[in-house]
Structure 1
Amino acid sequence: MTERLTAREILALLVDDATFTELPHPAGDSGPGGPLAWQGYDASRARAAQRTGEGESVVVGTASVEGTPAVLIAFEFGFLGGSLGERTGDRLEAAHAHARAHRLPVVPLIATGGSRMQEGMIALTQLQRVARQSALTRAAGLAQIAVLRDPTTGGGWATLGAGADVILALPGAQVGFAGSRVRPADADPAAYTAEAQVACGAADAVVPPAELRQVLGRWLRLLSGGADPAAAPPPAPVPFALGAHDLPDSGWEAVRRARSPRRPRARAYLDAYFGHRVALSGDRCGGADPGGMLCGFGEHQGRTVAYAAQTGTATLPSGYRTATRLIRLADRLGVPVLTLVDTPGAANGAEAERQGAGAAIAELFGAVAAARTPVTTLVIGEGGSGGALALAAPGGTWATPDAYFSVIAPEAAAAILKRPDGEIRATADQLRIRPQDLLDLGVIRGIAGPPGTLSPATRNRHKGNHDSTGHRP
């Protein structure tokens, strides 16, 4: 377990030198004993203040992290277990109001056991207050990046933590809605850890303390670098083709190329496209598909671009839900999106059906269709049916020379049509799945060229209606 840091210690670990400025504390007094006149409550608060040097369970202020300004909310667990009370709610509300007024991202550094029992339902209703402020900040197009410390439980996890856009966690931190004293007696402690939350898709990454400042700073730079959310930014440029440069002679040749283990995959394209990038992980519904769908934000030619990239495997429902989460976040922040299509199709086993494959794909179709931010798509390998099309931008899709896109795989098409195996290759031709076929059919806008050529969008402006392959864009 990571050493439990105080509020001031976690701030000192993260913020640039001498940049932290504490926000004024909102005026408020619940009277002796608090809203419930709880006997001994005033004495408990006084002891907590003397022990920690703080007047409440949160320290709120502005600071720069790796050069990017933000509003930081640091919980002090030593003050009544970092619990949320009415005065805590005052400070959290003031923090979000300041963030919106000054267009700053919000960074909760959470260490809390939940709501304050000595204030009863008044304390519990602070969760509604916090949720309202978070929703207003979200609607303003500002990012919220949570850091989970030890422990992050109860309402603090269920609002400030799990409700954030990006969730980072310190190693070994206790994380879960149920605190250690209210869990079932036979509960597995390993299920209530930061590592477990990442594995089940409820958090994005576990980050060692020594790396936290750099990682948080990178996230803040990327998520604060979008355009005005009210105006659509320029689309992400189309990546160059990293594999074959000539076009396939037949449909089956297109399939063979796309399935070749030597063909460049998503990671190669992302490495070539971005100077640096950070990954989103998990669908926030209990699942993750890190081997089948890569999502995150990166820097391309000095600006932030979001990405969702299939890796050549059958995509799980959690992969589609993670991509949906990515696109909706990018849309809200005014960040353009790049999607890379490469899958033989959606996972279609019984477990995928139990996990809601159809609903997950439908949600992704809807997110792409509703996005106000531009979505640019490049098919870099297999484009297998609806499981691939869900990630493709209508009117904004390109393909590489070693890709294909098909209503269904040629083998499956032949089987459905009751054709012998010997007719699979002819079926591939009939389906018209080659990049040049897709271009002629109007399914894609162009065919990506090799590095060193003009990008398709630039080439179209310079050369009218022809791209480097000799086909119209």
Structure 2
Amino acid sequence: MTERRLSAREVITRLADDSTFTELPHPQRQSGPDGPLSWQGYGASRARAAARTGEEESVVCGTASVAGTRAVLLAFEFGFLGGSLGERTGDRLEAAYAYARAHRLPVVPLVATGGSRMQEGMVALTQLQRVARQSALTREAGLPQIAVLRDPTTGGGWATLGAGADVILALPGAQVGFAGSRVRPADADPAAYTADAQVAAGAADAVVRPEELRNVLGRWLRLLAGPPAQEATVPRALGAHDLPATGWDAARRARAPQRPRAAAYLDAYFSHRVRISGDRCGGVDTDGMLCGFGAHEGHTVAYAAQTGTATRPAGYRTAARLIRFADRLDIPVLTLVDTPGAANDADAERQGVGASIADLFGAVAAARVPITTLLIGEGGSGGALALAAPGNTWATPDSYFSVIAPELAAAILKRGPQEVEATADQLRIRPQDLVELGVIRGVVEG
């Protein structure tokens, strides 16, 4: 069910801890009564909006504690000319972002807007450039931005404050899309312009029910603004403890259905965690790659974990997004490798699987924060290696890493099925072989 459209201050009251909201001072712009275009009747429209809402502009900016973590809140008032962005909106947003950087605070846009204010013409549209600049400066400063999409979030507000945030949460039933309801094609499917559709397309991270928003937002703020770990320690092994006798034994154990998978390792490692979803390019791989942040022994660690299936291009791009995000915040990363390899079907090729793997290799190579990798199952070729930290990769006893699957290696060498096991030995894929070869640092114990 769609949330009743709340005012900016009602939303702030729902999210902020008691009596912690303080409105920020904002610049006082002097202009004619009908704005920069001298649009006849614009001043009267503003006056009516002010009388109706009690606000002087379409955004309320201030600081508050949300579930114990202080942040800068940017709450849009849709009742003020549809929450549209004008010159004075840009003034307030610019000042709020500057305050956030000066005081090292995360930024939380609470978006409800129809876009740029037509009564101010191109002057209004250029406010998007101002907002984008402030968002970029805040990102460079290593401060997180967590957007909450309310109903509606359309036009330039979605294309800057919403889609430009690091983490994007949305309320159920919210209309979300670049095209507003009055400008999209008449035959357009309205279901495509919803919060759920944006999550399904990888453009937003999650839909959160209104009654859960304060706790979910507070959890995100605590993890992203709280103390990071110095590095991610290596998880303990949850499965077999003895080493495999042969290469084929290593492959069989890594493929065993009952072997612990990524979710079990993440649950054992983190006291609590939150997930990001989507590659921001139209794709998701929720079955093949789990990414997010969690608390380990009181400190924040980021994670990207393969789940034992063939990894899709969206999965690689989401992992690269996670690593770059963590790198900006100086949060160390834990990666769990477990895949028979990259997806190799025609759709994967059309979706750019090679480019997505290259992007992840690049993200890992360029990261300044420490990355720790644990091989927990299958390590199938470059689709697995892309997620592995050079010089800091470990393995469990029930895992293997190989340039290619033993069966495929035998086929390429024109060997019969009876020679697969011997080929597995020749490839030296056992954890102890990988240590001897210098590929991994060691084998972890339970």
> What's the TM-score, normalizing by structure 1?
0.94
Over residues 39-74 of structure 1, what are the superposed CA-to-partner deviations in whole Å (9 max), with x where a residue is unaligned? 000000000000000000000000000000000000
**Aligned partner of 1:442 among 420, 429, 438:** 438
2:424 is aligned, of 403, 421, 428, to 428
Q: Counterpart in 2 of 1:418?
A: 414
In the TM superposition, what are the counterparts of 1:29-428 in structure 2 within 5 Å? 29-227=30-228, 234-428=230-424
Measure the CA separation in 1 of the matches of 2:68 and 2:182. Answer: 40
1:403 to partner: Cα distance: 0.3
Report the identity percentage. Answer: 81
Letter in 2 for 1:224: A
Cα distance in 1 between the residues matched to 2:272 and 2:195: 25
- The one-letter code sitting in structure 2 at the alignment partner of 1:436 is Q
| Corresponding position of 1:14 | 15
- TM-aligned CA deviation for residue 30 of structure 1: 2.2
Shift of 1:32: 2.2
CA distance in structure 2 between the partners assigned to 1:264 and 1:2 by the alignment: 40
**Structure 1 residue 25 displacement after superposition:** 1.9
Deviations 1:111-155 (A, max 9, x none): 000000000000000000000000000000000000000000000
Deviation at 1:95, TM superposition (A): 0.6
Is 1:226–1:334's contact at 8 Å kept on the other side of the alignment? no
For 1:323 and 1:427, locate their aligned partners in 2 and report how far apart those are by CA, in whole Å. 32
Letter in 2 for 1:348: N
Structure 1 contact 235–337 (Cα < 8 Å) conserved = yes
> What is the DSSP-based 3-state SS (H/G/I as helix, E as strand, rest coil) of the residue aligned with 1:267?
helix
List alignment gaps of at least 5 residues for structure 2. none
Three-state SS of the structure 1 residue aligned to 2:33 is coil
Name the CA distance, whole Å, in 1 between partners of 2:251 and 2:333. Answer: 27
Provide the rounded CA distance (Å) in 1 between the counterparts of 2:436 and 2:231.
23
1:235 shift after superposition: 1.6
SS state at 1:36 partner = coil
**Letter of the aligned partner of 1:109 in structure 2?**
L
Give the counterpart letter for 2:375 in structure 1.
Answer: V
- DSSP 3-state at the match of 1:291: coil
Q: Hey, what's the Cα distance between the residues in 2 that align with 1:296 and 1:284?
A: 15
Aligned to 1:466: none
Structure 1 stretches of 4+ with a deviation exceeding 3 A read: none
* Residue aligning to 1:465: none
Report the counterpart of residue 462 of structure 1 in structure 2: none
CA distance in 2, matches of 1:409, 1:166: 37
Q: Could you tell me whether the CA contact under 8 Å between 1:225 and 1:304 is conserved in 2?
A: yes
Which residue identity does 1:377 align to in structure 2? T
How far apart, CA to CA, are the structure 2 residues paired with 1:417 and 1:59?
A: 68
Q: What is the one-letter code of the residue matched to 1:352?
A: A
Distance in 1 (CA, whole Å) between partners of 2:440 and 2:366 is 20
| Larger CA deviation: 204-213 vs 26-35 | 26-35
Secondary structure in 2 aligned to 1:270? helix
* Offset of residue 226 of structure 1: 4.4
Q: Please list every run of 5 or more consecutive structure 1 residues that lacks an aligned counterpart in the other structure.
A: 228-232, 451-473
Distance between the aligned counterparts of 1:305 and 1:225, measured in 2? 10
Instruction: Determine the C-alpha separation between the residues in 1 that align with 2:227 and 2:188.
Output: 43
Aligned-partner Cα distance in 2 for 1:192–1:110 = 15
Q: Is the 8 A contact 1:381 1:402 kept in 2?
A: yes
Partner of 2:36: helix, strand, or coil? helix
Q: CA RMSD in A?
A: 0.6
How many Å apart are 1:303 and its aligned residue?
Answer: 0.3
CA distance in 2, matches of 1:167, 1:449: 38
User: Is the Cα–Cα contact under 8 Å of residues 346 and 387 in structure 1 kept in the other structure?
Assistant: yes
Distance 2:7 2:283 in 1: 32
Give a deviation string over 1:419-439, Cα, whole Å, max 9, x none. Answer: 111100000000000000000
Give aligned pairs, total. Answer: 445
